[in-house]
Structures are given as structure tokens and as C-alpha cells.
């Protein structure tokens, strides 16, 4: 894991990792079915609101304003949380955040924590860090539990186990649950109701015994110090209410200026992510209240590359992301490759623009190219992040980081010279026509060697015609003018 | 109207028939077409692949080649999109104030072909006849980049004898994406396989689009599979007068 701990260590480049996923027809079928279902639901519920576009504009504007005054809102948040009885910690990077959380858990004397699904703690590799220090973290979101039992990686922001089918989940429960607590019942089948019941019984023991919980945050209101978590299962609410100590790790971009802005996001987020009008559980908590919920509340504010991202004029818009995963579900590339190919806890289009910014483009150089720039993500994004624009911006950064010495750079520089001269261009067209004629059979070029093989393995190419348009024009039209 | 044709480097070299078709249609409608010989390329390949300094001279060349024309028409939604969005960005980030001014002046006068016919000329019936079943593939840049909407379909429906058929998941990307098809060849091939299956399922004799690059990709896949489906640029269909009906 590199310093900031976002990209998995040794992760292969996107094209290499994608090849493995593409070779798995079951995975492709699972992904296609799941993403198509969520996509259609999202379109249907978004269409119900006649002010959907206005909501998107409002959300983008709020996020832009928040980013512009991020320092001010974060200080206000710290003040509000402290006034409400909580404690705020500032973490510059993954290492610092992990140290803070570990020390907080140690101070309680506990060696077990329950966790509600959190992208921020995945990003910093908190579970792994806690394990090194003798603390076991139990994931309580059903899909995160599946991933944890399988010693696996999440492959989707909203549906981390989207790559697993029911039979695989049954086998995992039967084989692994006993190592983590209450075993799966004898004779467990792959019926969803039975699987859910097995998970419920397994997790209930954890909720009732755990003294410490760790969460992420969907939003935090600077004016009231309220942290907001939305979820579907209610397991998160168990984590947020039952333990004595609650530690929330939150990316600094999640702050909102005030409570009233939640109105916009609580309409956009569930519709964009699960295709629901409202998420089943919306939990809001403000500091501590005697006799009600955790008696100690710690909020860890995580930077980990975010202020660097904020400094980038084009890339900063990515910080507006509310982690709804709408872009994943409409992305034709994600639909074929799944999330593991992105080598990051943030997969899909948003991962392709967020990960390189958090870790530096040189550490995720293949990700900005893992897109056809088809624009479906931009169209789906509830906060209007222009992902294609950021992708091309980051491509330029990757190319710059490579210093112009690659074969591609030389070829494109040469092409640029040719295209900047109509005479050289016309000469190149003639050469292409001759070369194409030599390669073609019945006017079509088949399989080619070298870097073009990837293209020509599955596609024929027509031979360039003997006469280009400009040469036809010169012969037939120019004199008429 | 005196119209300048921006043929695009790709069409110029690989699909000259598309340019001839645009000339044919515009002249049939009573307009005069010019082809400024100094033009080459919009710079999209360089811009999208991350080579911005290399794209800048091409932006400069483009603005000089087409300066002074009332209208510039191009049979490529993708290249029109590059001019409209990429040129102002490049000029702002890397260009001189003079280049920014020239780009700002030119961009509103650059039109994609179907946009030009329907919006600027206000025409949907262009005197074409093409008695075949046709499926239309809305390329990503025409659909989500230029927001062409149903303009291409309106033009196709007005062609005598043409039967426009539906294609499943028509708005899914075909997987071309310029250098994506080479850099991520396996993912591109998987997307192409689904698109080719959709083309077959449509039952069309001809697949048409407003971008030859996507058609090269899809057509290359269909050809490799031995499919009899032909790919044609929309301009070629609008230029057709098969069966003589006008």
C-alpha cells in the first residue's frame, strides 16, 4: 500500500486487471443484471421529480460554495461538535488517521469494534491497521460482511459484493462465519431469507457485546455539528446507538454549511444510488447526550490528498462526489470489468478521477484512460461532476509525468507535425493508401502484428481508399470555384 | 448560403464518400460548398490522449482555415464536439489572447451536419430515396456531447422508402473511444460484441450513424463476424437517390 493507502499495493494496470474480469462470463452476467436493474430504477424515480435538474444544480452549487470556503466550514464544524460534547481530531493522511483511531480504541481497553460500512476507513485501510495492533474490526453491513468473510475486496461503492452470487455467499457463510463469531446454521441454503437470517443472528451478537463502533459519514452540518448516515439495513443504526464509544472517520469534503442543505442531498442521494425515493434508515447524531446513545463521540477529519485535489482548478469538482455510485451503474466499462479492475476502493468513473488525484497520477496512470469518454457518467451524476473533462485533464497530467519519452508520445508528436501541414498530411494519406492496399485482402485488413493486434484481433479495417477526399476535391471541384 | 466543409482528417483519409455525400446534399439544397485546403484535423486525438501542447497548433490552424466563413459544416459529431468544447479550453489554458478571440468567434459558426440541416437550414426532407431497413446508432458524442436528440432520426424518417428499425440498448457506447480501443482492447472488444449483437437483433440491412469512427469500429466487428449488415454514414443515406424518387 502506498503512503496514502488508497490504491492496493501491486495492483496491476487497468487493462491487465480488466482482462481477468472479462474472461469470467458469470461475473459479466451478474454485473449486467445488477447495474441494469439499478439504472432503470434510478431513471424511474428521478423522473418523478419535476425539479430534478434544479436539485442537481442546487447540489452542485452548494458543493462548490462549500469547497471554496472549506477551511471556514471545517472550523465551524469543529466548534459545533465540541460544543455538543464531541471531540474533533484532524488527520493529514491515512497513517495519522489510523494512529488516531487505534489510540482511541486502545484507550477504551477494548479489542473489538463494530463497523458500519465506510468508504473513508476502506480508503485508509483501517481494518488492516487495527488488526496489526490486536484489534478486530467487525463489518456489519451485509455486503461488507460477505467481503470480509471472503478475505475479499469490495467491487462497488454501494453494493460491495456485487461480484458474488448467492451460492458463493452461502458457501462463505457456512465455511467462515464460525471463525468470526456465531456460526451459520446447519443446512443453510442460498435462499435470500435464510442468508439474511444467518447474517442477522451472527451480527446481533456483535451489536449487543461491542463497546466501540467505527463509522464513516455521508454528511456533516457545520452549523449544528450533526453527522448524517444513510443506509438500508439498520445495522448501521445499531452501531451508532448501542456502543459506548463512537468514532466517525470523515473525509473533509463531506461537510455541508448548514442543516438546511440536507434537504437537497437527501432527495438526490437515495434516488441516485439505490433508485429509492428515500433510504430506509437516515441517522443523524450530534455530539453526545446523557443516557442516550454513545457517551463518547470522536470525529476524525481526514485530508489524505483532498486539499491537494482542492488546489487543482479542474480536478477539485470531484470533491463534490456524494458516493452514490450512479456513475458506476451507467458506465459501459464498469459493466464489463467490475470494480476490482480499478485496483482501488473507489471503482468506476468516479474512481478513475478520484484515485489518481488522491494518490498522484503517477501511481494510478492507467485509470484516467479506463473510459471511452462516452459521457454517461456526467449525465447520471446528481452533483454534475464533469467526469469526462476531469479524465482528459488527468490524462494530460499522466502524459506529463511520463516526460514525453514513450513510444506513444513520439508517435503522437510525429502525427502532430504531419497534421500541422496539409502537404505532409496529403503525402501521408497517399502512403496510407499504398500501405493499406498491400495489407488488405478484398479491400479489408485483417489481423495485424504489434500494438495494433489488440484492435485487429476482433475487427477488420477497410483499406484506405486510393483517393482521399481532398485529392478528389482538387480534381473535381476546385476548378468550379 | 456559402458553406465551408470541415471534412475531418479521418473522413478525408478513410471515408471520402462521406464528404462527397455532404457536398451532394448541400448542393442539391441550393447551397455552395467550399473546401479550404489548409484544414487538417481538429486535434481531438491529441487532446483526448493527453497531448495538449501538440493539439494547440491544430486549433490555431483550424481557426485560420475557416476564418471568415458564415457557416462551417462537419459530418462528425465527435469532431464538432471537440471544436465546441475542446478548442475554447485549449485556447484558454495554453493559447494567446488572439487565439482565444479567434476561437470564440468561430465556434458558434461550426455545425454538425444534421444540426446544420435541421436547425440552420430548417430542412428535414432533403430529396433522398433509400428503400432499405436502417438502424440508427446514436454515437456518444452526438447523443451526450452535442445533444442532437432526434434530429438524425427525423432526417432519416423523411427519406423515401427508408424503414427505420429499433435497436436494443441503442444509446450504449460501442466501445471505440479513440485510443481506448487500442489501450483497453479487451474491454473495447466486449462492448463491441454486445453492440454487434444488438445490430443483428435489429434486423436492419444498414447501420447508420453521424460519426464514421464508431462505424469503423462496429463495421469492423460485423465484418469479422461475416455479417452482411452494411455501415453507412448518415450523409451517404441522405445523398442516396436509389429508385429515383425525389
SS3 A292: strand
The pLDDT score that the predictor gives to residue A420 is 93
Q: Do A369 and B172 touch (CB under 8 A)?
A: no
Facing A392 at nearest CB: one of B47, B61, B193: B47
Chain A contact present for B93, CB below 8 A:
no
Output phi, psi for A251, to 5 deg: -65, 140
Q: Do B41 and A419 touch (CB under 8 A)?
A: yes
* Cα-to-chain-centroid distance, residue A395: 18
Residue B46: all three cell numbers together: 491529441
User: pLDDT of A96-141, one tens digit each?
Assistant: 999 999 999 999 999 999 999 999 999 999 999 999 999 999 999 9
Residue A438: all three cell numbers together: 498491400
List CB contacts (< 8 A) between A368 and chain B.
50
E strand or H helix that includes residue A455: helix A453-456
**pLDDT at A441 > cutoff 90:** no
Whole-angstrom CA distances from A105 to A203, A217, A248, A257, A296 are 20, 19, 12, 30, 11
Of residues B43, B71, B29, B16, the one with CA closest to residue A474 = B16
B contact residues 100-159, partner A, Cβ 8 Å cutoff: 140-141, 143-145
Chain B contact present for A432, CB below 8 A:
yes
User: pLDDT of A238-284, one tens digit each?
Assistant: 999 999 999 999 999 999 999 999 999 999 999 999 999 999 999 99
**pLDDT at A453 > cutoff 90:** no
Residue A29: all three cell numbers together: 452476467
Q: Do B180 and A336 touch (CB under 8 A)?
A: no
Are the C-beta atoms of A288 and A84 separated by less than 8 Å?
yes
Question: Half-sphere exposure of B230 toward its Cβ, with a 13 Å CA cutoff?
Answer: 10
CA nearest to A334 within chain B: B187
Rounded Cα–Cα distance for residues B80 and B91 (Å): 16
* Cα-to-chain-centroid distance, residue A29: 21
DSSP state letter for A253: G
Q: Do A461 and B20 touch (CB under 8 A)?
A: no
SS3 A287: coil
User: pLDDT of B126-169, one tens digit each?
Assistant: 999 999 999 999 999 999 999 999 999 999 999 999 999 999 99
Strands B206-209 and B133-136: parallel
User: pLDDT of A463-480, one tens digit each?
Assistant: 999 999 999 999 998 866
Beta bridge partners of A283: A229
3-state secondary structure string across B75-103: CCHHHHHHHHHHHHHHHHHHCCHHHHHHH
Query: Please, which residues have CB within 8 angstroms of residue A8's CB and are 6 or more apart in sequence?
Result: A1, A153, A343, A344
Beta bridge partners of A212: A245
Residue written as grid cell 436539485: A55
Instruction: Average the pLDDT over A359-367 and give the result.
Output: 91
The pLDDT score that the predictor gives to residue B134 is 98
Degrees, nearest 5: CA angle B73-B74-B79: 135
Interface test with A, best of B187, B195, B224, B228 (most A CBs within 10 A): B187
Q: Do A460 and B51 touch (CB under 8 A)?
A: no
Chain A contact present for B199, CB below 8 A:
no
Are the C-beta atoms of A335 and A323 separated by less than 8 Å?
no
Q: Do B16 and A457 touch (CB under 8 A)?
A: no
Interface test with A, best of B7, B16, B140 (most A CBs within 10 A): B16
User: pLDDT of B196-215, one tens digit each?
Assistant: 999 999 999 999 999 999 99
**pLDDT at B61 > cutoff 50:** yes
Degrees, nearest 5: CA angle B236-B242-B244: 130
Strands A212-215 and A136-139: unpaired
Are the C-beta atoms of B143 and B153 separated by less than 8 Å?
no
List CB contacts (< 8 A) between A462 and chain B.
14, 216, 219-220
DSSP E strand boundaries for A47-135: 87-91, 112-115
Of residues A313, A395, A373, A433, the one with CA closest to residue B55 = A395
Rounded Cα–Cα distance for residues A52 and A45 (Å): 10
User: pLDDT of A62-81, one tens digit each?
Assistant: 999 999 999 999 999 999 99
ipTM for the predicted complex: 0.96
The pLDDT score that the predictor gives to residue A480 is 63
**pLDDT at A481 > cutoff 80:** no
pLDDT band at residue B229 under the 50/70/90 scheme:
very high
Q: Do B223 and A460 touch (CB under 8 A)?
A: yes
DSSP state letter for A146: H
**pLDDT at B52 > cutoff 90:** yes
**pLDDT at A362 > cutoff 50:** yes
User: pLDDT of A16-53, one tens digit each?
Assistant: 999 999 999 888 888 999 999 999 999 999 999 999 99
Output phi, psi for B20, to 5 deg: -60, -40
Provide the percentage of residues in chain A whose pLDDT is more than 70.
97
Residue A465: all three cell numbers together: 481508399
Q: How many residues does chain B have?
A: 246
Give the pTM.
0.95
Rounded Cα–Cα distance for residues A273 and A217 (Å): 16
**pLDDT at A405 > cutoff 90:** no
Helical packing angle, A348-359 and A387-401, nearest 10°: 40
**pLDDT at B244 > cutoff 70:** no
Are the C-beta atoms of A117 and A231 separated by less than 8 Å?
yes
Output phi, psi for A215, to 5 deg: -135, 170
Provide the percentage of residues in chain A whose pLDDT is more than 90.
85
Instruction: Average the pLDDT over B181-195 and give the result.
Output: 96
Question: Half-sphere exposure of B206 toward its Cβ, with a 13 Å CA cutoff?
Answer: 16
Chain B contact present for A24, CB below 8 A:
no
Rounded Cα–Cα distance for residues A236 and A141 (Å): 7
Beta bridge partners of A297: A246
Q: Do A472 and B16 touch (CB under 8 A)?
A: yes
CA nearest to B51 within chain A: A396
Q: Do B37 and A422 touch (CB under 8 A)?
A: yes
Lowest average pLDDT, out of A154-163, A261-270, B103-112, B143-152, goes to: A154-163
E strand or H helix that includes residue A391: helix A387-401
* Edge-first strand listing for the sheet containing B206-209: B163-165, B133-136, B206-209, B230-233
DSSP chain B: -EEEE---HHHHHH-HHHHHHHHHHHHHTT-EEE--TT----SHHHHHHT-HHHHHHHHHHHHHHHTT-SEEEES-HHHHHIIIIIHHHHHHHHS-HHHHHHHHHHGGGEEEHHHIIIIIS--S--S-B--SEEEE---HIIIIIS--TTHHHHHHHTSBT-EEE--TTTTS--S-TTTHHHHTHHHHHHHHHHHHHHHHHHT-SEEEES-HHHHHHHHHHHHHTT---EEEEHHHHHH-BTTS--
3-state secondary structure string across A184-248: CCCCCCCCHHHHHHHHHHHHHHHHHHCCEEEECCCEEECCCCEEEEEECCCHHHHHHHCCCEEEE
Q: Do A19 and B223 touch (CB under 8 A)?
A: no
The pLDDT score that the predictor gives to residue A443 is 85
Rounded Cα–Cα distance for residues B192 and B176 (Å): 8
SS3 A151: coil
Facing A22 at nearest CB: one of B16, B54, B186: B186
State the CB neighbour count (10 A cutoff) for residue B241: 14
* Cα-to-chain-centroid distance, residue A430: 46
SS3 A471: helix
Of residues A155, A102, A121, A136, the one with CA closest to residue A335 = A155
CA nearest to B142 within chain A: A374
List CB contacts (< 8 A) between B12 and chain A.
429, 468-470
Amino acid at each position: 500500500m502506498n503512503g496514502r493507502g488508497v490504491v492496493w499495493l501491486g495492483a496491476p494496470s487497468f487493462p491487465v486487471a480488466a482482462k481477468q474480469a472479462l474472461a469470467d462470463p458469470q461475473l459479466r452476467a451478474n454485473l449486467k443484471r445488477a447495474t441494469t436493474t439499478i439504472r432503470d430504477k434510478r431513471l424511474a424515480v428521478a423522473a418523478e421529480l419535476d425539479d430534478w435538474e434544479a436539485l442537481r444544480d442546487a447540489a452542485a452549487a452548494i458543493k462548490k460554495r462549500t469547497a471554496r470556503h472549506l477551511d471556514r466550514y471545517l472550523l465551524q464544524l469543529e466548534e459545533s461538535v465540541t460544543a455538543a460534547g464531541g471531540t474533533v481530531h484532524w488527520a493529514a493522511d491515512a497513517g495519522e488517521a489510523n494512529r488516531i483511531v487505534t489510540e482511541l480504541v486502545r484507550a477504551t481497553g477494548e479489542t473489538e469494534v463494530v463497523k458500519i460500512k465506510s468508504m473513508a476507513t476502506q480508503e485508509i485501510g483501517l481494518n488492516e491497521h487495527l488488526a496489526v495492533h490486536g484489534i478486530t474490526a467487525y463489518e456489519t453491513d451485509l455486503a461488507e460482511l460477505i467481503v470480509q468473510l471472503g478475505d475479499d475486496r469490495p467491487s462497488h461503492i454501494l453494493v460491495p459484493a456485487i461480484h458474488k452470487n448467492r451460492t458463493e455467499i452461502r458457501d462463505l457463510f457456512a465455511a467462515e462465519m464460525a471463525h468470526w463469531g456465531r456460526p451459520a446454521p446447519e443446512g443453510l441454503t442460498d435462499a435470500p431469507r435464510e442468508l439474511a437470517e444467518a447474517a442477522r443472528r451472527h451480527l446481533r451478537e456483535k451489536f449487543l457485546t461491542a463497546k466501540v463502533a467505527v463509522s464513516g459519514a455521508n454528511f456533516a452540518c457545520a452549523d449544528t455539528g450533526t453527522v448524517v448516515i444513510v443506509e438500508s439495513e439498520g445495522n448501521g443504526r445499531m452501531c451508532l446507538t448501542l456502543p459506548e464509544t463512537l468514532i466517525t472517520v470523515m473525509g473533509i469534503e463531506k461537510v455541508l454549511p448548514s442543516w438546511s442543505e440536507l434537504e437537497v442531498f437527501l432527495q438526490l442521494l437515495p434516488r441516485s444510488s439505490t433508485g429509492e425515493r428515500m433510504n430506509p434508515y437516515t441517522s443523524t447524531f450530534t455530539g453526545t447526550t446523557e443516557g442516550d446513545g454513545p457517551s463518547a463521540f470522536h470525529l476524525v477529519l481526514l485530508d489524505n490528498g483532498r486539499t491537494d485535489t482542492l488546489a487543482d482548478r479542474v480536478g477539485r469538482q470531484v470533491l463534490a462526489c456524494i458516493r452514490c455510485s450512479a456513475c458506476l451503474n451507467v458506465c459501459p466499462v464498469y459493466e464489463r470489468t467490475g470494480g476490482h479492475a480499478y485496483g482501488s476502493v473507489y471503482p468506476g468513473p468516479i474512481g478513475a478521477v478520484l484515485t489518481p488525484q488522491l494518490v498522484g497520477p503517477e501511481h494510478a496512470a492507467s485509470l484516467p484512460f479506463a473510459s471511452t469518454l462516452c459521457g454517461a457518467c456526467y449525465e447520471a451524476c446528481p452533483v454534475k461532476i464533469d467526469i469526462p473533462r476531469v479524465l482528459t485533464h488527468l490524462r494530460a497530467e499522466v502524459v506529463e509525468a511520463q516526460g514525453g519519452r514513450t513510444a506513444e508520445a513520439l508517435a503522437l508528436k510525429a502525427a502532430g507535425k504531419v497534421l500541422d501541414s496539409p502537404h505532409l498530411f496529403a503525402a501521408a494519406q497517399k502512403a496510407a493508401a499504398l500501405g493499406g492496399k498491400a495489407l488488405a485482402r478484398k479491400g479489408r485488413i485483417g489481423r495485424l502484428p504489434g500494438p495494433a493486434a489488440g484492435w485487429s484481433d476482433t475487427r477488420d479495417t477497410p483499406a484506405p481508399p486510393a483517393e482521399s477526399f481532398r485529392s478528389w476535391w482538387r480534381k473535381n471541384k476546385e476548378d468550379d470555384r | 448560403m456559402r458553406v465551408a466543409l470541415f471534412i475531418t482528417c479521418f473522413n478525408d483519409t478513410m471515408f471520402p464518400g462521406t464528404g462527397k455525400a455532404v457536398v451532394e446534399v448541400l448542393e442539391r439544397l441550393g447551397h455552395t460548398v467550399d473546401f479550404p485546403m489548409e484544414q487538417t484535423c481538429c486535434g481531438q486525438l491529441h487532446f483526448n490522449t493527453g497531448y495538449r501542447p501538440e493539439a494547440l497548433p491544430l486549433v490555431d490552424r483550424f481557426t485560420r482555415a475557416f476564418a471568415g466563413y458564415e457557416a462551417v459544416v462537419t459530418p462528425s459529431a465527435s469532431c464538432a464536439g471537440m471544436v465546441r468544447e475542446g478548442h475554447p479550453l485549449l485556447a484558454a489554458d495554453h493559447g494567446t489572447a488572439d487565439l482565444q478571440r479567434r476561437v470564440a468567434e468561430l465556434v458558434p459558426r461550426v455545425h454538425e451536419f444534421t444540426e446544420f440541416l435541421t436547425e440552420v437550414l430548417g430542412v428535414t426532407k432533403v430529396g433522398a430515396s433509400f428503400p432499405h431497413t436502417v438502424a440508427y446508432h446514436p454515437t456518444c458524442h452526438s447523443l451526450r456531447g452535442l445533444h442532437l436528440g432526434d434530429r438524425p432520426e427525423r432526417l432519416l424518417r423523411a427519406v423515401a422508402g427508408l424503414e427505420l428499425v429499433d435497436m436494443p440498448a441503442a444509446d450504449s457506447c460501442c466501445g471505440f473511444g479513440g485510443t481506448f480501443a487500442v489501450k483497453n482492447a479487451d474491454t473495447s472488444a466486449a462492448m463491441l460484441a454486445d453492440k454487434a449483437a444488438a445490430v443483428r437483433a435489429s434486423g436492419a440491412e444498414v447501420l447508420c450513424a453521424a460519426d464514421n469512427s464508431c462505424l469503423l469500429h462496429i463495421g469492423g466487428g460485423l465484418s469479422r463476424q461475416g455479417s452482411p449488415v452494411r455501415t453507412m454514414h448518415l450523409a451517404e443515406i441522405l445523398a442516396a437517390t436509389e429508385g429515383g424518387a425525389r
